[in-house]
Amino acid sequence: MKSLFLNLPMMADVTKIVNDDYVGFTFFVGCMAMMAASAFFFLSMNNFDRKWKTSILVSGLITFIAAVHYWYMRDYWAAFGESPTFFRYVDWTLTVPLMCVEFYLILKVAGAQKSLMWKLILASVVMLVTGYFGEAVYTTGSGPAVWGFISAVAYFYIVYEIWLGSAKKLAEAAGGATLKAHKMLCWFVLVGWAIYPLGYMAGTEGWYSGLGNLGLNMDVIYNIGDAINKIGFGLVVYGAAVAAQNND
Ligand SMILES: *C/C=C(C)/C=C/C=C(C)/C=C/C1=C(C)CCCC1(C)C
């Protein structure tokens, strides 16, 4: 009798990840980590009072949106062996503005205005759209360098605003758990976010033979950056909420 299995189509629904595909591996693990982090943030949300609940919710939304994108990016990489640039930038364009919202939510107690949030969101969108141009549209000659430079200007504006600008003054006025959380998030933006331009240089042309020649893969660098900045960032907010609650 003919086995039922022989009638199955040759292509399975699950794409194979080969042993030495370490890029595919980081997409896979990244996906799981984002899912687990989302479950953690969503389930712990209700342990906190209103002020912090929204912040934890936003942490969960950031990792959840990333989990869904990683699901697609993992598949895309497995199927085509190419960078899923489009999904990557859609993910960032949704999650990075949410991180700007997180800064605002934390500083709201100290009297932060919505205008601060919109300034940060606008700068982050400029940073990402110009980065996309350099990575996916103007990919030859000086294209990546020029668009990367404009992107970096927007990035440094965000760094300035939170480290030295009005956001810093609000955090100092608030003190306590708010100031501590703000400082930690500032470090994420200065050090954690700096991982991304390195990935960009590994994957685009025009950097004197490129970081890619050191054997560094752009997607691996981006995936490590995302794990640190999305899950770590959310955990800092969670820690601040726990600290604030224990002091009340
Ligand atoms: C969860 C995703 C995050 C936090 C993504 C952050 C992305 C950046 C900070 C990207 C920055 C870039 C530059 C500063 C210059 C080169 C182009 C980019 C877009 C990679």
Write the pLDDT tens digit of every residue in 112-161: 999 999 999 999 999 999 999 999 999 999 999 999 999 999 999 999 99
Considering the four listed CATH numbers 1.10.645.10, 1.20.1070.10, 3.50.50.60, 1.10.3720.10, the one that applies to the domain covering 21-247 is 1.20.1070.10
> How many angstroms separate the alpha carbon of residue 222 from the centre of ligand 1?
9
Global pTM value = 0.91
Atom 9 in ligand 1: which residue has the minimum CA distance? 193
Average pLDDT, the chain: 91
What percent of the chain has pLDDT above 70? 90
Closest atom, ligand 1, to C-alpha of 95: 1
The more confidently predicted of residues 43 and 202 is 43
> How many angstroms separate the alpha carbon of residue 186 from the centre of ligand 1?
15
- Do 29 and 44 meet the contact criterion of CB atoms below 8 Å apart? no
Closest atom, ligand 1, to C-alpha of 132: 19
Residue 70's nearest CA partner among 108, 98, 35 is 35
CA distance 151 to 145: 10
Band of pLDDT at residue 218, cut at 50, 70 and 90: very high
Ligand 1 mutation target, pool 121, 151, 198, 228, most atoms within 8 A of CB: 151
Answer whether residue 2 shows pLDDT above 60: no
197 lines ligand 1 (CB under 6 A): yes
Rounded to the nearest 10 degrees, the angle between the axes of helix 85-107 and helix 166-174 is 50
Rounded to the nearest 10 degrees, the angle between the axes of helix 166-174 and helix 114-132 is 130
Region of 176 (left: φ > 0; alpha: ψ -120 to 50; beta: rest) is left
Ligand 1 mutation target, pool 155, 162, 229, most atoms within 8 A of CB: 155
Output the pLDDT for position 107: 93
Closest atom, ligand 1, to C-alpha of 99: 4
Boundaries of every domain in the chain: 21-247
Ligand 1 mutation target, pool 187, 196, 222, most atoms within 8 A of CB: 196
Residues 18-71: pLDDT tens digits? 778 899 999 999 999 999 999 999 999 999 998 899 999 999 999 999 999 999
